[in-house]
Amino acid sequence: MKPLLEIKHAVKTIYNDDDNLNILNNINLTINPKDFLVVLGTNGAGKSTLLDAITGTNKLTSGQILLNGDDITSENLAKRSRHISRVYQDPKSGTAPRMTVAENLLLAKRRGLPRRLRLRKLKENMPEFQELISNLPTLDNRLNTFTEKLSGGQRQTLSFLMAIIQRPELLLLDEHTAALDPQTSKDLMELTNKIILEKELTCMMITHDLSDAMKYGNRLIVLKKGEIILDLDKTEKDKLTESDLLQYF
């Protein structure tokens, strides 16, 4: 099977007067199509820095990133966004507050396309958007609601839908349920898992939650001090207990 994403000898160094620090320390990682990869690690382990490197938000100090065999190490954020979507931890980060739910979805649908003056054609897209949210009680009948009026859970659900509306080659979830209350977090995580499996998306999800790390995904890696210290497939992961995982922290 041809890898979807390959990270080779990735290093991200923070330079200072006293001592240089490798946030990512020679990371090598391969993600295959349809992988649902869960990344577990404490604060400062390098999890978000790794996602920044993949999206192009923060370039590597050294190393390579290949997408479908093509070297994208030097590509900017805009070019990579045609293939890679990301949902952030903060529900406010992925949506435009003064636009409606439908307008946000239309914006996401046009991500990566050439920017030029054109008719919005919002009405023509409304049936598709209605179908998209029809089975989601949190967003149903809210297509014309301004996003700033939504709750955190509703807004994060919208961010997730915006990330998958174009069916990205790679979906990145950056602790996307961490800022929500327990029940809302559980609901969104179940929706996330359902859509990823149904659409056979390739996903890389960062979490602090041991139970989510155990429950979801077909692969688990543990990051510590910028290094991958554990990389398990589903069979190996299913044999683990939370106590087993705690020993790595």
Residue 42 within any structural domain of the chain: yes
CA distance 13 to 25: 8
Residue 88 within any structural domain of the chain: no
Residue 89 within any structural domain of the chain: no
Residues 47 and 101 in one domain: no
Residues 189 and 68 in one domain: yes
What range does the domain containing 151 cover? 94-112+120-165
* CA of residue 24 relative to chain centroid, distance: 18
Residues 153 and 182 in one domain: no
CATH number at residue 244: 3.40.50.300
When divided into structural domains, the chain yields a total of 2
Residues 77 and 1 in one domain: yes
pLDDT tens series, the chain, 249 aa: 799 999 999 999 988 777 788 899 999 999 999 999 999 988 888 999 999 999 999 999 999 999 999 999 999 888 898 899 999 999 888 899 999 999 999 999 887 655 554 556 788 999 999 988 988 888 988 999 999 999 999 999 999 999 999 999 999 999 999 989 999 999 999 999 999 999 999 999 999 888 899 999 999 999 999 999 999 999 999 998 888 888 877
Task: State pTM to two decimals.
Answer: 0.92
